[in-house]
Amino acid sequence: MLKFVPDYCFNRFDEADAEFLLSIGVRGIILDVDNTLEPYENALPGEHVKAWISSLREAGISLSIVSNNNGERINLFNSELGLPVFYRAKKPFKKNLLRAMEKMGTSPEETVAMGDQIFTDVWAARNAGVRAILVPPINDRRDLLTRFKRLLERPILKKYRKQKEE
């Protein structure tokens, strides 16, 4: 169960700013899209997302998108960003995180993956040997499967908080 505990938790994606990422030795970040950067119904990244991505780029941090969603959604979302994208990624499998690192030219030790789901994003990070940042899902309107997964996540988050207190 320990493998599902995220390394870092933030309330929003942009709390993981360039200064923080550099301070933990990160040179590359793998991003989830849906409910991490924007809710499902937003086809394009908002100003906050674009500003944050620019600031990371300026700090020399590489970025990539690894999403389980389809190419239509992800290519449109990425149209103004121009990041390497890997869609239908089948997270928690590690394959597309490894491909993303290859593209960014970063090792697992200097890479972090950010997402909103423990059993998709955090698990994929673990499988690929990279650290994981968890953010709460932006949109709380969830289908039943996601709700069920959240229920399972609860004891894991408790464990994270306990670990931080120790």
What is the binding site for Mg ion (CB under 5 A)? 32, 34-36, 116
Closer by beta carbon to Mg ion, 9 or else 59: 9
At 122 the three-state DSSP class reads: helix
Closest distance to Mg ion from the beta carbon of 80 (Å): 20
Shortest distance (Å) from residue 53 CB to Mg ion: 17
Is the distance from CB of 26 to CB of 61 less than 8 angstroms? Answer: yes
Count of residues making up the chain: 166
Report the residue number, 5 or 124, with the smaller CB distance to Mg ion.
Answer: 124
Cα–Cα distance between 138 and 122 in angstroms, integer?
17
Strand order across the beta sheet in which 111-115 lies:
8-9, 131-134, 111-115, 28-31, 62-66, 85-86
Count of helices and strands (H, E) across the chain: 6, 6
Q: Least CB distance from residue 137 to Mg ion, whole Å?
A: 7
Shortest gap between Cβ of 32 and Mg ion (angstroms)? 4
Shorter beta-carbon distance to Mg ion: residue 95 or 119: 119
